[in-house]
Structure 1
Amino acid sequence: MSALTSYRVTWEQKGIDKSHTETCIVDSDDMTRPGDPEQRNGLLRKMLAIRYLPTGYAVPDNVVLQDVVPVCNCEPYPGQDCAFAYHGGERFYLTASSQPGYEVIRDHHREKVLGNVCHTLSVEFLTLVREKYGHQ
């Protein structure tokens, strides 16, 4: 199943100190390694080069990514508020667990527990959950 993810990308052309911010969409069908940020960034650089660089410079190596931020997919129209704006735009968050050495990953949408995670891995796991599921 194809998944489209929007990103707000700040970039500049190599050798030119002027940054631009654009919204780009990545289709999971274009990725052989879904969830791989390196492959995602390569697709974004290619897209930006083709769309914005002059002929002769339109190659991914001429695009320097400064910042790549997923755009909340619960924003049906540009400028409309995110359903999770009250929570800092985050659907998933960590809370303390009743088990020592663990933290709980919760979902603001249904206030349900996604799972207990060892505290040494909780932030990394939360980041993966946020990247994979966003605000779907």
Structure 2
Amino acid sequence: MSVLTSYRVTWSQKGQDKAHTTTCIVDSDDMTRPGDSEQRDELLRKTLAIRHLPTGQVVPDNIVLHDVVPVCNCEPYPGQDCAWAEHEGHRFHLETAARPGYEVIHDRHHDHVLGTVLSTLSVEFLTLVREKYGHQ
């Protein structure tokens, strides 16, 4: 099943200082290595080159990515409201676990615990969960 994931991308043309921010969509069907950020970035550079560079310069290598931020799946286009806007756009969040030294990753969509993780690893784990699942 194809999954569309939106990204807010800040980029510039190689050799230029002026940065631009735009929204791009990556289709999971276009990825042979799901979750590979290098392949995702290559697809983003290709899309941006086609959209914004003049004929003759439409090469992904002419695009420099400065920042790639996933946009929740319920907000694929600018102007649409996010279902989790009241939570700063975050479907997944950390809560203190009953067990000392652990935190749980909570999923607001299903209102259940996704996983329990050591407090020292919780932020990294939460980041991976948000990148992988977004608001699907």
TM-score by length of 2: 0.91
- Residue number in structure 1 paired with 2:114: 114
Alignment pair present for 1:124 and 2:124:
yes
Instruction: Provide the C-alpha distance between the structure 2 equivalents of 1:106 and 1:37, rounded to a whole number of angstroms.
Output: 24
**1:12 aligns to what SS in structure 2?**
strand
Gaps in structure 1 of 5+ consecutive residues: none
Q: How far is the alpha carbon of 1:80 from its aligned partner?
A: 2.6
Residue aligning to 2:65: 65
Matched length: 136
The structure-2 alpha-carbon separation of the partners of 1:123 and 1:33, relative to structure 1 and needing over 3 Å to count, comes to same
Q: CA deviation at 1:75?
A: 2.5
**Which deviates more from structure 2 when the two are superposed, residues 14-23 or residues 87-96?**
14-23
Question: What does the per-residue CA deviation read over 1:13-68, in whole Å, with 9 as the maximum and x for residues that have no partner?
Answer: 01112122222111111112111111101110111112211122211111011111
Alpha-carbon shift at residue 111 of structure 1 (Å): 2.4
Specify the SS of the correspondent of 2:124.
helix
Amino acid at match of 1:119: S
1:46-65 equivalences under 5 Å are: 46-65=46-65
Rounded to whole Å, the distance in 2 between the matches of 1:38 and 1:90 is: 24
Identity of aligned residues (%): 76
Structure 1 moving runs of 4+ over 3 Å: none
Secondary structure of 1:38's counterpart equals helix
Write the deviation string for residues 57-89 of structure 1: whole angstroms up to 9, x where unpaired. Answer: 211111011111112211366313211111111
Q: Residue 97 of structure 2 aligns with which residue? A: 97
TM-score, normalised with respect to structure 1: 0.91
Correspondence for 2:35: 35
- 8 Å Cα contact 2:7-2:68 kept in structure 1: yes
